[in-house]
Amino acid sequence: MLLIVLLAIPFLAAILLELTALGLRHGPRIGMIIHVGAALGTCAAGILLAAQVWPASGIVSGFGLLRVDPLSAFFAAVVSGVSSLVGFSALSREGGIAPHRRPTIHRLVIGRWTLSVNRCPNFYAPFHLLVAAMLLVVVANHLSLLWSAVAGAVLILAHMLNRQSALAASGPSSGEIARNYLLMVTPGLALALLATAIIALAGAQAGGAAQSLRWDVLAATTNLSPPELRIALIFALIGYGMISGLAPLHIWLPSIVGVAPAPIVALMTGALASTGMCVILRFKVLADVSLGSDFSQTVLLGMGVISLLVATVFVLIQHDYKRLLAYLITGHMGVICLGLGFGGFGGTLGAILHLVNLALIMVLVWLVAGYITLTYRSTAISDVQGLLWARPVAGGFYLLGVLALAGLPPFGFFLSFIMIIEAGMVAGIVWVAISATVLHVIIVVALLRAIHAMLYGNIPDHVITDQRWRWMAAPLLLNVAALLALSVIMPSPIIAALVRVANFVSP
């Protein structure tokens, strides 16, 4: 019942919010109330779902299409919580989104009759529809439904990009941004669909119930064809890894995030990237049942090393702070893959903790980065100076986000990275662990050098010092509190949830 409520709240909210955009007298005000209520309700339902202790075998519902287990319940809480933080930030125009802009007139001609509809471009409705699609990804039990939900989330994101204007007047239009996004993510979706088809072929060869493409049935099948399973895992890792920003299909990330509105980028990198990694974990579990853990760990190690190496190279030569953040996502996703590749309970637990921290940090830094872009009207590092003096609150939040992203104590990345490197040492893969540490140190030095240039220096003449941040500070304070809860405080329920997920994923 709670699962149905979790999916129904954002879906029904999207319908109601679309109706409020049809020229109602108090449409924007009603839409804001619905938006806030749906965000709070979705967050509460996701946390309640994760708070329950679900059996490792999971509970299947919805005619076998939906599934709740420790993995899906945990990621439902992550997606709903992160999305709610982004939703609250969209209440303010400082976030780079105009949820209710000037109404436009649409005329529908039917014979001799002309119907005029006063329709306002809306951010809230597609936002909640995207949240519903992402939640469907993490709770889907049927692999075809899972792929369809991912493709639906990508299309909704493209729709949101198309409806929001680019920030820079000289930059690409919103239509060009959406088109480029679709063109760049299509190869990943194609590979993910091919991985699903190959799994179907392996299930058909195994016979019996394995032909149904239900994840719970496939996970209990030990005689899936090894060659098909290996190919499917590689295609799934590359295809769904595209959504998470893993190399080599990460090229959409720096290209899109530099011109897209900050709340949409926060959804991409915080919530949707987490769902992509959740799907990769699903395919890893399937592969480990029939192949053992050696093959999946080897593939994940390779993907992790490539992503971390690519991130290091491009971070060193980057002069755009938004593109810099984009490559940092690729690097941290590579670290997560290394943790899963090193294996063992410690490596898996470190990877899950790293992923949760990354989702929260991405929301923090991208929302502030959007505000910085609105303030300085530039994404070049050299054009942003004196941020701490021009915008002390924004500069302070940005500094906290960058320090957390660098993995410095007391933030959770410090603990999770040590856990991952220790797992590599214990597994005997010393050269990979040492190489990852060296690359991480290089990234941290480049990141701190960039943030120093932005925080200090002389304020440009065109920048007006103004501290009216209204709604923006509240979700950022909640974000910082959540980050500290995952590092300094670490309540026992959170530890128990992380342990359940690690035990579910690790063989």
Residue 108 has pLDDT above 50, yes or no: no
Report yes or no: 100 and 28 within 8 Å, Cβ to Cβ. yes
Residue 66 parent element (H or E) = strand 66-68
Residue 62: pLDDT over 80 = no
Question: What confidence score (pLDDT) does residue 234 get?
Answer: 93
* Whole-number Å distance between alpha carbons of 427 and 343: 8
pLDDT at 106: 44
Predicted confidence (pLDDT) at residue 188 exceeds the cutoff of 80: yes
Tell me 272's DSSP state: I
Measured CA to CA, the distance from residue 180 to residue 281 in angstroms comes to: 28
For the chain, give the mean pLDDT.
Answer: 84
Lowest mean pLDDT among 179-183, 209-213, 255-259, 437-441: 209-213
Give the separation between CA 273 and CA 249, rounded to whole angstroms. Answer: 13
- If DSSP codes are grouped into helix, strand and coil, which group holds residue 393? helix
The sign of the CA dihedral 359, 361, 362, 367 is positive
Integer Cα distance of 225 and 229 in angstroms: 6
Banded model confidence at residue 99, pLDDT cuts 50, 70, 90: very low
Section 478-484 average pLDDT: 89
Would strands 66-68 and 113-119 be described as parallel, antiparallel, or unpaired?
A: unpaired
Cβ atoms < 10 Å from Cβ of 321: 28
Residue 472 has pLDDT above 70, yes or no: no
Angle between helices 143-163 and 273-291 (to 10 degrees): 160
CB 322 within 8 A of CB 171: no
pLDDT band at 169 (very low <50, low <70, confident <90, very high): very low
d(CA 497, CA 71): 9
- With a cut of 70, say whether residue 98 has pLDDT above it: no
Q: Which of 7-21, 213-227, 430-444 has the highest mean pLDDT?
A: 430-444
> Which of 256, 253, 399, 264 has the alpha carbon at shortest distance from 333?
253
Q: Are 130 and 154 in contact (CB under 8 A)?
A: no
Poorest-confidence range of 143-152, 155-164, 282-291, 342-351? 155-164
Does the structure show a pLDDT above 90 at 121? no
* Strand 104-110 to 113-119 pairing: antiparallel
Of all helices (H) and strands (E), which one includes residue 106?
strand 104-110
Other Cβ atoms within 10 Å of 8 Cβ, number: 14
> Closest Cα to residue 89, out of 484, 403, 479?
479
**3-class secondary structure per residue, 419-461:** HHHHHHHHCCCHHHHHHHHHHHHHHHHHHHHHHHHHHCCCCCC
Integer Cα distance of 243 and 249 in angstroms: 9
Task: Name the helix (H) or strand (E) containing 105.
Answer: strand 104-110
Average pLDDT over residues 164-177: 59
If DSSP codes are grouped into helix, strand and coil, which group holds residue 490?
coil
- State how far Cα 256 lies from the chain centre: 14
- pLDDT tens digits, residue range 272-313? 999 999 999 999 999 998 888 889 999 999 999 999 999 999
Note the pTM of the prediction, 2 decimals.
0.90
Closest CA to 18 of 181, 129, 114, 142: 129
Residues across the chain: 507
Q: SS3 of 247, please?
A: coil
Compute the distance between CA of residue 199 and CA of residue 278 in angstroms, rounded to an integer.
17
Which of 83, 131, 44 is closest to 263 using CA atoms?
83
Q: Between the CA of residue 298 and those of 3, 96, 292, 384, what are the distances in Å?
A: 35, 41, 11, 42
Sequential DSSP letters for 233-248: HHHHHHHHHHHHT-TT
| Residues ≥6 apart with Cβ < 8 Å to 314 | 254, 323, 327
pLDDT at 496 over 80: yes
Q: Which tokens go with 21?
A: 């955009």
Residue with token string 């530099």: 258
Nearest in space to 384 (alpha carbons), one of 324, 469, 320, 314: 320
The span from the CA of 123 to the CA of 99, in Å, is 5
Q: State the pLDDT confidence band at 7, using cuts at 50, 70 and 90.
A: very high
Which residues fall within 8 angstroms of residue 220, CB to CB, at 6 or more apart? 289
pLDDT of residue 156 exceeding 50, the answer is yes
* Buried b or exposed e, range 461-480, using 16+ CB within 10 angstroms: eebeeeeebeebbebbebbb
Give the per-residue pLDDT at 120. 45
- Tell me what pLDDT residue 171 has: 57
79-94 mean pLDDT: 81
Residues 6+ apart with CB under 8 A from 169: none
The CA distance from 124 to 91, in Å, is: 9
Peptide bond just before 410 cis, omega within 30 deg: yes
How many other β-carbons are positioned within 10 Å of the β-carbon of residue 449? 11
- At residue 114 the predicted structure's pLDDT band, cuts being 50, 70 and 90, is very low
Render pLDDT for 379-424 as a digit per residue (tens, 0 to 9): 889 888 888 888 888 888 999 999 999 988 888 899 999 999 999 9
Give the CA dihedral 144, 150, 152, 155, nearest 10 degrees: -140
Residue 486 has pLDDT above 70, yes or no: yes
Question: Taking the C-alpha atoms of 490, 492, 498 and 501 in order, what is their torsion angle to the nearest 10 degrees?
Answer: -170
